[in-house]
């Protein structure tokens, strides 16, 4: 099975012709023609090169959905372009990616870590819309070790200019003479939220690394800067949301 072909009924449903089951019925009834020949159940097509006609109408393939995980470095903006001409995350993608992908959930220029780039708007919405409350976990480095009270305060919710933050999961990770790492998990996505939460309790963030977003985890990159999710990983991600 190569990545360039997909099941005919999947191609038809992605193009908005009918559900997969209804597309199978159309194929069975002989109403679907692939490259001039009547299609059969089980047939696969290459959306880029094969001509598929259903009920006399040529089916135009919808853009292939792609999903890349990136370990964003500091200094790169998580937008698709930047008026100041700084490097943006789409420039980290392999050169042969032709689809227009966009980042799901921003990371500040000074933040690093996990970022998903995709052209799947539905999935992006599920990962970022507040009503789905998808958890994002960050590792935060501060020069001072947050006190027990500060941690309790972060857990309960802190007052920002637009209101109180929802309860967060906060755990101490490690500390030495240079500073302390703390793990913070939130399910909101306000601008600069973690930095502002830490500032509110008296700590300036020196480093901010996103470790996970819902079922996506930085470890899935296995040390790489960029990976493309496989079809199986995408299915798993969707079923976990």
Q: Return residues touching ligand URA (CB under 6 A).
A: 107-108, 111, 138, 192-195, 208
Neighbour-count burial for 87-121, b at 16+ CB within 10 Å, e otherwise:
ebbbebbeeeeeeebebbbbbbbebbbbbbbbbbe
Q: Which of 74, 184, 104, 71 is nearest to 136 (CA)?
A: 184
Q: Which is nearer to ligand URA, 111 or 182 (CB)?
A: 111
* Beta carbons of 190 and 160 less than 8 angstroms apart: yes
Exactly one of 82, 108, 110, 120 is catalytic; name it: 108
Active site residue 108: yes
Tell the smallest beta-carbon distance from residue 40 to ligand URA (Å).
Answer: 50
Q: Which of 75, 74, 209, 207 is nearest to 142 (CA)?
A: 207
Tell the smallest beta-carbon distance from residue 150 to ligand URA (Å).
Answer: 16
Quick one: tokens of 198?
């830490």
Tell the smallest beta-carbon distance from residue 78 to ligand URA (Å).
Answer: 8
Q: Which is nearer to ligand URA, 61 or 189 (CB)?
A: 189
Q: Which is nearer to ligand URA, 138 or 203 (CB)?
A: 138
Active site residues: 108
């Amino acid at each position: 099975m190569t990545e360039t072909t997909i099941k005919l009924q999947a191609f038809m449903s992605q193009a908005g012709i009918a559900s997969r089951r209804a597309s199978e019925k159309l194929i069975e009834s002989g109403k679907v023609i692939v490259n001039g020949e009547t299609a059969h159940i089980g047939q696969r097509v290459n959306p880029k090169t094969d001509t598929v006609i259903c009920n006399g109408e040529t089916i135009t393939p919808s853009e292939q959905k792609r999903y890349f995980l990136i370990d964003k470095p500091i200094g790169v903006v998580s937008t698709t372009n930047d008026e100041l001409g700084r490097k943006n995350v789409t420039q980290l993608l392999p050169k042969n990616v032709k689809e227009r992908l966009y980042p799901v959930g921003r990371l500040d220029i000074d933040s690093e870590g996990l970022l998903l780039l995709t052209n799947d708007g539905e999935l992006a919405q599920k990962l970022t819309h507040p009503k789905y409350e998808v958890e994002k976990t960050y590792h935060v480095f501060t020069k001072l070790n947050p006190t027990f009270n500060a941690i309790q305060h972060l857990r309960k919710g802190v007052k920002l200019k637009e209101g109180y933050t929802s309860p967060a999961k906060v755990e101490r990770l490690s500390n030495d003479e240079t500073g302390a790492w703390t793990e913070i998990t939130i399910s909101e996505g306000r601008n600069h939220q973690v930095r502002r939460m830490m500032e509110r309790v008296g700590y300036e963030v020196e480093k901010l690394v996103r470790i996970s977003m819902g079922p996506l985890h930085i470890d899935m990159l296995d040390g790489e800067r960029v990976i493309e999710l496989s079809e199986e990983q995408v299915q798993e991600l969707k079923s976990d949301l």
